[in-house]
């Protein structure tokens, strides 16, 4: 059983993980001058005023790409929990369900803007996590928990989503 303090610590660790993932993937403005630029360097000077460019939506700025690192991290964490069943370790039912709900929430927001080259795999992953999470219950089948996530049928989709990078 988790205490409020444990939940708070877990939530804080999750938030730190998300921030770290975003920092690693480089969610900074590439046009911003670097901190090491000297005041006299061209990078530190204010840019000349120009007419504002019309915003053009790019694949990298879509909701899918904005949430992808967090989704990938949550997916890995869920897979690790499910992997405990393969190693005959006890499975805490609440935690995988919580992670599956997080994955479903992100997936719902991301699905509409998924690039065509990954959309089918993304949907397969969402469906597999949902099927696996439904089987996470006392007296449930270990195979029903593991098969959607680690089975041959969905393996390519999980690999594709995990390795996908927005450009």
Say how far apart CA 81 and CA 43 lie, in whole Å. Answer: 47
Predicted pLDDT at 98: 93
Say how far apart CA 95 and CA 101 lie, in whole Å. Answer: 10
Say how far apart CA 43 and CA 38 lie, in whole Å. Answer: 8
pLDDT digits (tens, 9 = 90+) for 78-95: 999 999 888 888 888 889
Question: Per mean pLDDT, which range of 53-67, 107-121, 126-140 is the poorest?
Answer: 53-67
Predicted pLDDT at 41: 45
3-state secondary structure of 78: helix
Say if residues 114 and 159 touch (Cβ distance below 8 Å).
Answer: no
Domains of the chain: 58-167 (1.20.120)
pLDDT digits (tens, 9 = 90+) for 25-42: 444 344 444 444 444 544
Q: Report how far apart, in Å, the C-alpha atoms of 110 and of each of 46, 65, 68, 122 are.
A: 36, 8, 8, 9
Question: Per mean pLDDT, which range of 22-26, 44-48, 62-66 is the poorest?
Answer: 22-26
């Amino acid at each position: 059983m988790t205490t409020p303090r444990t939940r708070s610590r877990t939530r804080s660790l999750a938030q730190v993980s998300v921030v770290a993932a975003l920092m690693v993937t480089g969610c900074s403005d590439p046009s911003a001058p670097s901190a090491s630029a000297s005041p006299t360097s061209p990078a530190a000077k204010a840019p000349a005023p120009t007419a504002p460019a019309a915003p053009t939506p790019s694949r990298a700025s879509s909701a899918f790409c904005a949430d992808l690192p967090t989704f990938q991290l949550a997916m890995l964490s869920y897979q690790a929990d499910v992997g405990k069943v393969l190693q005959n370790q006890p499975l805490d039912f609440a935690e995988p369900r919580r992670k599956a709900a997080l994955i479903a929430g992100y997936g719902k927001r991301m699905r509409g803007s998924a690039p065509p080259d990954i959309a089918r795999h993304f949907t397969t992953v969402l469906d597999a996590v949902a099927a696996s999470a439904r089987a996470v219950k006392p007296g449930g089948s270990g195979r029903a928990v593991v098969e959607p996530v680690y089975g041959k049928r969905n393996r390519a989709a999980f690999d594709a989503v995990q390795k996908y990078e927005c450009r």
